[in-house]
């Protein structure tokens, strides 16, 4: 019996994430599993140092400094879609996500954004900023509050986001 070949990137949805504290990492792992594609982490060592890293992250977010991740992730242009995942900082997507949105010319047509946040960070400003950085509308959007970690609602939110992104990749879906 012949073995099936691995799916091509065009048939996959990649998940790219940044997590300073580990919360977004956990969400991204669940998201990648739901999407069935590869998971890529953005590494920005300048934010790794406890309180200093936290302060530097806030400063960079407020002053629109978007340092490039220190690790290479492969070209994303061949994937059917990309789901970005990370926290909201000072009402904006975390700076590593903003770097990807604004500077990576290899993003596919379909890009979703899944944000994690504290209860005091409403997501609408983060989404409009992300769309401005990207230069077009996001295909899918979701936000999970750090305080709303009920397993059932988390699973449902991830499943709904994944379904929206997957549906956008069908031939009949509008771009």
Prediction pTM value? 0.89
Q: Which residues contact 86 (CB under 8 A, 6 or more apart)?
A: 17, 18, 19, 24, 28, 42, 93, 94, 96, 97, 115, 116
Domain boundaries, the chain: 9-168
The token pair that represents 86 in the structure block: 């990370």
pLDDT in tens, 95-123: 999 999 999 999 999 999 999 987 677 79
pLDDT under 70 in the chain at which residues? 1-6, 119, 149, 171-175
* 9-168: CATH superfamily: Flavodoxin domain (3.40.50.360)
53 contacts 46 by C-beta, under 8 angstroms: yes
């Amino acid at each position: 019996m012949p073995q099936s070949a691995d799916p091509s990137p065009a048939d996959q949805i990649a998940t790219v994430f940044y997590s300073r504290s580990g919360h977004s990492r956990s969400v991204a792992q669940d998201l990648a599993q739901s999407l069935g594609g590869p998971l890529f982490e953005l590494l920005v060592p300048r934010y790794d140092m406890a309180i200093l890293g936290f302060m530097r992250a806030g400063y960079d977010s407020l002053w629109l400094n978007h340092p490039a991740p220190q690790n290479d992730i492969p070209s994303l242009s061949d994937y059917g879609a990309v789901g970005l995942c990370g926290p909201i900082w000072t009402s904006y997507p975390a700076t590593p996500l903003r770097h990807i949105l604004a500077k990576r010319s290899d993003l596919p047509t379909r890009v979703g954004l899944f944000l994690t946040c504290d209860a005091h960070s409403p997501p609408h400003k983060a989404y409009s900023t992300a769309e401005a950085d990207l230069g077009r509308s996001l295909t899918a959007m979701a936000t999970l509050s750090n305080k709303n970690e009920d397993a059932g609602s988390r699973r449902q939110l991830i499943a709904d986001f994944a379904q929206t992104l997957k549906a956008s990749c069908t031939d009949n879906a509008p771009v």
